[in-house]
């Protein structure tokens, strides 16, 4: 019996997570997989009611689960950053989920490419550092001094930010940080991943030509680790990578990318796979609790209308099954999803005419076949 934490969240989060749970229930009826679910009311509604983001008791309970299944957070009534940093980024950092695995595949023919390519890009987005480290401040007016402590599973970094300017000037800072320890474990994971998946090289995406202090160090460490393992490294600047994803997506296998660029490139990737409703992800801590979620957000523009594509949430459930050691069940689910795409049993964003729950009905029917 697997013990899952369910965090439906905001907007379309609860709509797509409900579909994922239906599918997991269907799988548990026809296989050896079984689970118990504990729901957590983490999200904007509770925050707006009483200002609570995540309590210590919740962190404690979440840390004891076999996995977390997460929908999305984000609410137009809440200032940007509060829920995103206070809930999602807080969990990724607290549970030290340092790899964000985001498969990008040619799932669906509705791709915005001139030519159809079969591609399967394995994005490994570093998930705890870079411009997501949470070190920033505002200088307004005159002078500021701010001490902050950054805690990760690997280290504690005390940082102080001191700045002085003319009183009429105003500045905002967001500091990017990479650590040797953080890059080493990222590189090791990426290289092992490439080898395990039969890829003969790792592509590292960065902007070492503009931010050499961070990304130059990252290149050096990746190259050291790659030389140790006898695997080839390929270096791509992120601007060129965005272009290359459109003209030669099939030439990439394992792609390691720092946090911020990884966020951006994987939305592009999801769209290459048919739409934002297609992208799934796993926030992985190989030694702790991992969290599976669609890469899309709460999509307030379509929430409550039964239009949300559940594919990403269902693929996230598939990744969770794989992670929990149910490879056969994961494969079954992936095949059912593939049939739903082949038969155009999809939501309007993919050109289909089904509602969210009808896509799941179809997938469950396939599973029972
Ligand atoms: P979004 O991903 O929510 O939506 C972008 C566009 O894609 C919208 O037009 C939306 O309708 C469409 N879309 C997204 N998922 C879809 C699906 N499953 N089916 C069909 N269409 C889908 O991004 P946004 O609008 O920039 O952000 C909305 C909120 O979500 C913000 O508060 C943002 O911070 C938050 N957000 C949260 C997460 C997360 O929880 N992981 C991720 C991204 C954004
Ligand atoms: C994602 C989201 C998050 C991110 C936001 C909501 C904090 O865009 O999961 O891709 O930037 O990582
Ligand atoms: Mn994103």
How confident is the model over 135-188, as pLDDT tens digits?
999 998 889 999 999 999 899 999 999 999 999 999 999 999 999 999 999 999
Dihedral sign of CA atoms 217, 222, 224, 227 in order: negative
Is residue 122 domain-shared with residue 247, that is, in the same domain? yes
In a domain, 279, yes or no: no
Provide the pairing of β-strand 254-257 with 201-206. parallel
Residue position matching structure tokens 């500021």? 144
Report whether pLDDT(110) > 70: no
**Total residues belonging to the chain:** 369
Q: Which helix (H) or strand (E) holds 199?
A: none
- Evaluate whether 250 touches 105 at the Cβ level (below 8 Å): no
Confidence of residue 104 (pLDDT cuts 50, 70, 90): very high
Domain that holds residue 97: 1-103+286-369
Based on the domain organization, do 19 and 87 belong to the same domain? yes
The answer to the question of residue 223 being in a domain is yes
Tell whether 191 and 158 lie within a shared domain.
no
Average of per-residue pLDDT across 257-270: 97
Partners of 157 in the beta sheet?
Answer: 150
Q: Same domain, yes or no, for 169 and 229?
A: no
Q: Are residues 253 and 344 in the same domain?
A: no
Joined tokens for residue 145: 């001094």
CA of 294 to the centre of ligand 1 (A): 10
Q: What pLDDT, on a 0 to 100 scale, did the predictor assign at position 117? A: 87
pLDDT tens readout for residues 287-340:
999 999 999 999 999 999 999 999 999 999 999 999 999 999 999 999 999 999
Q: Report the percentage of the chain scoring pLDDT > 70.
A: 99
| Same domain (yes/no): 251, 293 | no
Q: Is residue 255 part of a domain?
A: yes
Please tell me if the CB atom of residue 276 comes closer than 6 angstroms to any atom of ligand 1.
Answer: yes
Which tokens belong to 160?
Answer: 């102080």
Cα–Cα dist 22/314, whole Å: 10
Say how many Å lie between the CA of residue 238 and the centre of ligand 1: 22
In this structure, what CATH number is given to the domain that contains residue 95? Answer: 3.40.718.10
pLDDT band at 111 (very low <50, low <70, confident <90, very high): low
Q: What is the pLDDT of residue 108?
A: 80
Of the ligands numbered here, which is closest to the C-alpha atom of 92? Answer: 2
* Angle formed at CA 9 by CA 97 and CA 293, multiple of 5 degrees: 40
Which CATH number belongs to the domain containing residue 265 in this structure? 3.40.50
Lowest mean pLDDT across 99-103, 164-168, 233-237, 290-294: 164-168
Note whether residue 35 is domain-resident: yes
364 Cβ inside 6 Å of ligand 1:
no
> Does one domain contain both 229 and 360?
no
Do 248 and 333 reside in the same domain of the chain?
no
118: closest CA among 132, 100, 104? 104
Q: Do residues 225 and 346 both lie within one domain? A: no
User: What average pLDDT does range 43-72 have in this prediction?
Assistant: 98
Name which residue sits closest to atom 25 of ligand 1, judged by CA: 299
pLDDT > 90: percent of the chain: 94
Pairing of strands 143-151, 156-164: antiparallel
Whole-number Å distance between alpha carbons of 275 and 272: 7
Please name which ligand lies nearest the alpha carbon of 297: 1
Same domain, 173 and 256: no
Same domain, 122 and 268: yes
Question: What would you report as the CA-atom Rg of the chain, rounded to the nearest whole angstrom?
Answer: 21
For residue 116, name the pLDDT band (cuts at 50, 70, 90).
confident
Q: Report CA(295)–ligand 3 centroid distance (Å).
A: 6
Which of 118, 68, 123, 113 lies closest to 285 in space, CA to CA?
68
Closest to 132 (Cα-Cα) out of 90, 172, 99, 75: 90
Pick the last residue of a domain from 273, 306, 330. 273
Atom of ligand 2 at shortest range from CA of 266: 10
- Longest Cα–Cα distance of the chain, Å, equals 71
Q: Is the CB of 27 under 6 A from ligand 1?
A: no
At residue 127's C-alpha, the angle toward residues 156 and 18, to 5°, is 125
Is 92 within a domain?
yes
pLDDT for residue 114: 76
Residue that has been written with the tokens 């965005």 in this structure: 242
Mean pLDDT check: name the lowest of 43-47, 116-120, 178-182.
116-120
Number of domains into which the chain is organized:
3
| Alpha-helical regions (H) of the chain | 13-30, 44-50, 56-63, 82-83, 90-94, 180-196, 212-229, 238-247, 259-272, 311-323, 327-342, 356-368
Q: Is the pLDDT of residue 112 over 90?
A: no
The span from the CA of 314 to the CA of 25, in Å, is: 12
Q: Is the pLDDT of residue 4 over 80?
A: yes
Residue ending a domain, choose from 227, 245, 273: 273
Q: Is 281 among the domain residues?
A: no
What pTM was estimated for this model as a whole?
0.97
State whether 220 and 255 are in the same domain. yes
CA distances from 80 to 127, 140, 143 (A): 19, 20, 25
302 Cβ below 6 A of ligand 1: yes
Residue 46 lies in a domain: yes
The tens digit of pLDDT for each residue in 191-201 reads 999 999 999 99
Last residue of a domain, one of 207, 242, 273: 273
Residue nearest atom 26 of ligand 1, based on CA coordinates: 297
Residue-by-residue DSSP string for 104-158:
EE---S--SSSS----EEEEEEE-SSEEEEEEEEEE-SSEEEEEEEEE-SS-EEE
């Amino acid at each position: 019996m697997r013990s899952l934490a369910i965090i439906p969240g905001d907007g379309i989060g609860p709509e797509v997570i409900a579909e994922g749970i239906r599918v997991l229930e269907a799988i548990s009826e026809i296989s050896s997989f079984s689970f118990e679910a504990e729901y957590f009311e983490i999200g904007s509604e509770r925050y707006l009611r009483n200002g609570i983001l995540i309590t210590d008791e919740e962190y404690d309970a979440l840390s004891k689960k076999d996995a977390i299944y997460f929908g999305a957070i984000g609410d137009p009534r809440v200032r940007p950053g509060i829920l995103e940093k206070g809930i999602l980024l807080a969990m990724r950092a607290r549970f030290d989920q340092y790899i964000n695995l985001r498969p990008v595949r040619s799932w669906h023919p509705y791709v915005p490419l001139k030519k159809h390519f079969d591609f399967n890009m394995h994005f490994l987005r570093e998930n705890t550092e870079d411009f997501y480290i949470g070190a920033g401040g505002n200088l307004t007016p005159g002078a500021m001094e701010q001490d902050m402590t950054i805690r990760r599973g690997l280290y504690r970094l005390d940082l102080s930010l001191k700045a002085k300017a003319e009183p009429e000037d105003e500045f905002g800072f967001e500091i990017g940080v990479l650590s040797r320890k953080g890059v080493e474990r990222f590189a090791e994971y990426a290289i092992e991943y490439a080898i395990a998946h039969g890829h003969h090289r790792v592509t590292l995406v960065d902007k070492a030509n503009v931010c050499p202090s961070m990304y130059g160090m990252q290149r050096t460490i990746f190259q050291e680790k790659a030389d140790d393992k006898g695997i080839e490294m390929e270096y791509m600047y992120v601007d060129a990578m965005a272009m290359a994803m459109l003209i030669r997506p099939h030439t990439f296998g394992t792609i390691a990318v720092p946090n911020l660029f990884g966020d951006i490139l994987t939305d592009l990737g999801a769209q290459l796979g048919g739409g934002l409703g297609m992208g799934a992800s796993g926030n992985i801590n190989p030694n702790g609790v991992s969290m599976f979620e669609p890469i899309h957000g709460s999509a307030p523009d379509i929430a409550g209308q039964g239009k949300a594509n559940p594919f990403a949430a269902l693929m996230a459930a598939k990744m969770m099954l794989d992670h929990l050691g149910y490879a056969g069940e994961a494969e079954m689910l992936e095949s059912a999803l593939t049939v739903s795409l082949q038969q155009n049993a999809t939501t309007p964003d993919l050109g289909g005419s089904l509602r969210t729950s009808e896509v799941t009905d179809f997938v469950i029917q396939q599973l029972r076949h």
